[in-house]
Structure 1
């Protein structure tokens, strides 16, 4: 499977974010990638007025994403928002070139490190596995990566690759936590893990809101044995990755942690 990681910084200007998504998607399509995955909060960065942004832009954003996937001939996986009452839903949406759309609503909200996502976001309830080119992929968002049972469930449902799309909060040790968690989820679920985050705005020079998680970069792909097979630094970048998903079966045979698990976990 060949895919692209689009490590970008989004802002609260949806039109600018859309232009950037178009650029990176077209570049990914030119490489022959089957899909391109963008960070959490690509439609709009976290910041004040997020519900108003979602209310004004969700319909046009979705139409633009559907058209982009069709025109470029590539599946686009992208972080976006939709209105839910007085709050929003934090979504990772999948747009196919055939006009199909699926999404995952973030289950674990980021109420940590002094930020409270649940003040403005409604939590999802259901894990999601999608079919892409005959392969099963799990889709997750950011803080989800700290919860191993979710990834074990995705693996039990047949996923061989889990995508975690993030706008990772910066701070002391946060890059190391991000890298360690991605490799750990690969190891304890017998899956490849593609961890794609917003770039580090201090490196990229993009002006992002200071209220809320921004990004640290350092996106990576881990194989099911915890080996990093592709990684980025802090800047905005497009990374093309090729993996043989049969490696997930080999890992499950060699280290059958889910089969050996007791008490259902």
Structure 2
């Protein structure tokens, strides 16, 4: 059976297909084979700011490339216009790829685009990608679960700390989940740590900041919940960056220590 989803409404004759594709966390080699093939077949590619530009090299020379990235406070194309553009090209019979950083259904608004396509009877397919909580943390040597440290983890957005009708319940997350992977939270780091501390999270809880995860520009900083904001400011951490909060951060130091010890033993031997 085809994995292309057809909207329950009547499919419009001659419409093309839209592929909502996850590009992974940054390293272009972490894209899936299916995603690469969809890029190669595309007539039109709408791509985001966090997509590694080298992935566009897979596209045909005649494929139309449309940048629609969003940075904090600066959207090159509003979401409503992106939705319309996807539908317009598909209704012209084009094969369209909507290329997103990470996974399209993890803070990627891919579901909003799929709902719009479904409402117009336009067929689409979701191609999952490696999300930053998994890819960037693994690249930094931090597991989101680890026996004895963490049996659960949550992916949380940090961008709803101010002015949202339904703010993140940091008071509940502080004790109900072992590992927190916070997206889009660097600018709100001091506020996030304050809310977690107020909810009773231990100040000694390990925290890691992973900037440009999985790429050659990756930086990893570790501290505690008590002082991570000071280190982030001193080191000038900027987006895209992932915040990992929990005891699993200690595994990174254990891995580094084991590597240093093994290297020293090889030199002695």
Q: Which TM bucket (shorter chain)?
A: 0.3 to 0.5
TM superposition score normalised by structure 2? 0.33
Q: Quick check: which one's strand share is greater?
A: 1
TM superposition score normalised by structure 1? 0.34
Name the larger-Rg structure: 2
